[in-house]
Structure 1
Amino acid sequence: MSAVFNFTFVPWFRSVAPYIHTHRGKTFVVAVAGEAIAAGKLQNIAQDLALIQSMGVKIVLVHGFRPQVNEQLRAKGHEAKYSHGMRITDAVALDCAQEAAGQLRYEIEAAFSQGLPNTPMAGSTVRVISGNFITARPVGVVDGVDFKHSGLVRKVDGSGIRRTLDFGAMVLISPFGFSPTGEAFNLTMEEVATSVATSIQADKLIFLTEIPGIRVDSELPESEDNPIDTELPLDAARKLLATLAPAQRPTDTAFYLQHCVKACEAGVERSHILPFAVDGALLLEIYVHDGIGTMVIDEKLESLREATVDDIGGILQLIEPFERDGTLVKRSRTEIERDINQYTVIEHDGVIFGCAALYPFPEERTAEMAALTVSPQAQSVGDGERILKRIEQRAKAMGFDSIFVLTTRTMHWFIKRGFTPVEPDWLPEARKRKYNWDRRSQVLVKKLN
């Protein structure tokens, strides 16, 4: 095994460890569009879900089957009919849906039963259990359109799903529901997944879809200046939905977004829209800081706050690589513990991704910002600027006229944000006595208006 591989693998594996710990014992509802299976993605999706489950996540898998049903209809010479963004399920379409669901359940169970050596499924044991967890009712007649055997979710057996998950199995749910009289109804995968996630109060609802995610300004062409919004606060998602026409097709912006909003409003902490075209999209979204698709949340996931003693270990882990390469002056655990009230941190899913300390010099009406650090995983997403703004606010609240920094490598970053270089003689007397002339740090000052 090459030294280069070791050098890259070990830091990477350590970087995902906090997410493994965070998600252990959590419950995810993963909704896979039928188009993903039609595109030949099932094997990789199954491998990723088996890996996620092996790390302690409880999984409910809901599959769609739009293209599979349409294929069955074409084989029978029958036209697929839609209205209001839903399938009109006549007797022939219901028969096709039942055939497609049965075939897909067979394929999904087979995918999770593999255990070939030298594959991600080697040594895995995934028990897939499905059942009549959904009670449905008919859509009925809407605007003069009779939807026949198309239905809506009436009730979810949440306690039954939770008991099955606690047994250690993966729950598989098809978009079918049954009335108390035993009548079958064709449901939409999106509504089923949302209803299940709400009923069991899942920690995540994840849609693996045809689209790459959501852009708030969807009228503009995609470019580097108009990326997918990886994090969309619930209020912003609501406002976006209010400007959109009702969704008719899965590629419409509102199609999956409306279900993400509904889930978050009903208590699901996070809902995600991921592209199945990206191999490993589930792993990238769950175990990488900024993910691969769009996440709708009820509040900003990143918490910018003042540090507490519980953050000392996280701060030490964050700044240690920068101390080692000389970017930061080394600070002992005792120093950080003594000064913890001076620190501001950015926390993401229980992991510290950025920090800075503010040391006041009241007599000179100024303060030093020290140890400004942002994890390499979170750089270029604005965390450094958010911490700087928070430090400025703290300094203003203390009545100071300026803040200053000492740096050897990031002078231009500070100059772009309003800092001006000065000579070391400018420093407050108490700080000047501690200035390391061998290090020759640049001194930069920013006036606080």
Structure 2
Amino acid sequence: MSLVFPHTFVPWFRAVAPYIHKYRGNTFVVGVTGELIAAGKLNAFVQDLAILHAMGIKLVLVHGFRPQVNEQLAAKGQTSRYHRGTRITDAVTLDCAQEAAGQLRFEIEAAFSQGLPNTPMANATVRVVSGNFLTARPIGIVDGVDYMHSGVVRRVDSAAMRRAIDIGATVLLSPFGFSPTGEAFNLTMEEVATATAVALQADKLLFLTEIAGIQEDPKDPDSAIDTELALADAKRLLAALPPPNQPTDLAFYLQYCVKACEGGVERSHILPLAVDGAILQEVFTHDGIGTMVVDEKLESVHEATADDVGGILQLIEPFERDGTLVRRERTEIERDIANYTVIEHDGVIFGCAALYPYPEARTAEMAALTVSPQVQSQGDGERLLKRIEQRARSLGLDSIFVLTTRTMHWFIKRGFAQVDPDWLPEARKRKYNWDRRSQVLVKKLG
């Protein structure tokens, strides 16, 4: 019998709930490299996709097969040939690609058909639909190199694909396309996934890849992964990187993410196949695990509206319960909502603070400064403080003050100084709770 720990499971599940609501009915196109399948990770990966499917997410899965084709070629005494990162497909290579694709489609469909008790696939019913959804044309001759049976996507039958996913099926695409004359062309998984995501105007394009994502400093392989890249920044970075020749080059997947976002896909992701459950971590956690390219930054600091009341209440409730914050009723927050500033990420509020001016004393109180435990130590508190200071300056005030019982040192490190409660404006002093013994700290606004 497994142990369940409510003190960790329940808060985690509640934190995931906003994403479940948000993504129900969304369309995700997932591109998975053949390396993931070769590494024996197919069953766990399919289980994760089945969880997304159960949550009402519409899925298109595009598989790659580079290592499988290379293995088939080696068995026939042939070698793989590439130019600018794209395979040159002669007649033998085309046969190997068709064999590899057939085998992989069989394995993927078998994985989706699992239903063993006590596994994530128990009670799962995921129907897989494949077909000739792609029309292709040959790449032709580039730089004097004949790509032969290698092609590019000419058209995606998005209407037929949409009918399939709208009835609950998962569409499975191999990197093959066919010409109007019936000729087969070997395509790249990355191009197929990107073209499909654009044609469907998918909500997300996710690549499970050999790389962990895009480093904050591409010249330093040990630097942290940049979890969110604005499209403009991604394009600048792409222009500065050398042209990619293989999938492990930083620019390889980044170029497809940029193309997808330019084509109307809201978000495109580069995820590490080496991490178990990478797609779940990316979709259902605040910062994710890989790199996400978006048309604009998802995180915004803005003044609150009536629509934010529920999110603010949910954010501050645990801190009110443990005594860190003074309890505020919903009616009070609704009345004062114009005083609040919030940090919102992807539709979820992760931080808030309120400003209550005392113009007669040329000061204001910053109250209810709260940052979700999920994102603490990531600078959201400083961003909220900076916005509150800006709001106070715009009102012509000389200072802001806070009352706190537990976070005095955080404020002191950011330029606040402790004063006696008698310093408070008369109107605020009358409401001061002497039993709570809050520390009063003031910051001069330069």
Q: TM-score range by the shorter chain?
A: over 0.9
Distance 2:411 2:236 in 1: 35
Shift of 1:3: 8.3
In structure 1, what residue type is equivalent to 2:411? F
Letter of the 1:244 counterpart: L
Task: Please point out which of 208, 226, 230 is paired with 1:229.
Answer: 226
Are 1:422 and 2:419 matched, yes or no?
A: yes
Q: Is the 8 A contact 1:216 1:240 kept in 2?
A: no
Counterpart-to-counterpart distance in 2, 1:389 and 1:130:
53
Distance in 2 separating the partners of 1:233 and 1:349 = 14
How far off is 1:371 after superposition? Answer: 0.1
Identity fraction in percent: 76
Q: Does the CA contact (< 8 Å) of 2:215 and 2:221 recur in 1? A: no
The offset of 1:439, in angstroms, is 1.3
User: Which residue is 1:386 aligned to?
Assistant: 383
Structure 2 portions without partners, runs of 5+: none
- The change in CA–CA distance for 1:167 and 1:2 in structure 2 (over 3 A counts) is closer
Equivalent in the alignment of 1:264? 261
Match of 1:10 in 2: 10
**Superposition deviation, residue 342 in structure 1:** 0.4
Task: Flag structure 1 segments of 5+ consecutive residues without an equivalent.
Answer: none
Q: What TM-score comes out, normalization by structure 1 length?
A: 0.98
Deviation of the 1:229 alpha carbon: 0.6
Which residue is equivalent to 2:394?
397
User: Is the CA contact (8 Å cut-off) linking 1:343 and 1:357 kept in structure 2?
Assistant: yes
| Matched residue type, 1:43 | N
Paired with 2:199 and 2:275, the residues of 1 have a C-alpha distance of: 29
Structure 1 residue identity aligned to 2:129? I
Question: Once the 2 structures are TM-superposed, how far is the Cα of residue 390 of structure 1 from its aligned partner?
Answer: 1.1
Matches within 5 A, 1:202-281: 202-222=202-222, 226-281=223-278
Which residue among 410, 413, 416 is the counterpart of 1:413?
410
Give 2:80's aligned residue: 80
Partner of 1:172, secondary structure, is strand
CA distance in 2, matches of 1:344, 1:328: 17
Normalised TM-score (structure 2): 0.98
The one-letter code of the counterpart of 1:65 is F
In the alignment, the residues of structure 1 paired with residue 211 and residue 99 of structure 2 have an alpha-carbon distance, to the nearest angstrom, of 27
Q: CA deviation at 1:221?
A: 3.9
Aligned-partner SS, 2:124 = coil
Aligned AA for 2:274? Answer: A
Tell me how far 1:388 sits from its aligned partner. 1.2
* CA deviation after TM superposition for structure 1 residue 4, in Å: 6.5
TM-fit CA distance, 1:248: 0.6
Deviates more, 1:250-259 or 1:298-307: 298-307
Alignment partners' CA distance in 2, 1:170 and 1:81: 33
Q: Does 1:301 align with 2:301?
A: no
Residue aligning to 1:19: 19
How far has the Cα of 1:2 moved from its partner? 8.5
- Ranges of 4+ aligned residues in structure 1 off by more than 6 Å: 1-4
- 1:35 maps to a residue whose letter is E
Q: CA deviation at 1:350?
A: 2.0
Q: Once the two structures are superposed, what CA deviation does each residue of 1:353-411 show, in whole Å capped at 9, x if it has no partner?
A: 11110000111111111000011112122211111111111111111111111111111
Indicate if the aligned counterparts of 2:114 and 2:121 stay in contact, CA closer than 8 A.
yes
Q: 1:203 to 1:443 in 2, by over 3 A?
A: same
Aligned to 2:63: 63
Contact 1:58–1:170 (8 Å) recurs in 2 = yes
- Check the 8 A contact 1:284/1:292 in 2, yes or no: yes
Q: Which amino acid aligns with 1:336?
A: I
Q: Which residue in 2 is equivalent to 1:167?
A: 167
Counterpart CA distance in 2 for 1:439 and 1:445 is: 18
Give the C-alpha shift of residue 218 in structure 1: 1.4
Q: Give the distance between the partners of 1:131 and 1:420, measured in 2 at CA.
A: 69
Equivalent of 1:359 in 348, 356, 360: 356
Alpha-carbon distance in 1 for matches of 2:278, 2:304: 33
Residue 154 in 1 paired to residue 151 in 2? Answer: no
| Residue-by-residue CA offset, 1:250-273 (whole Å, 9 max, x unaligned) | 110000001001111111111000
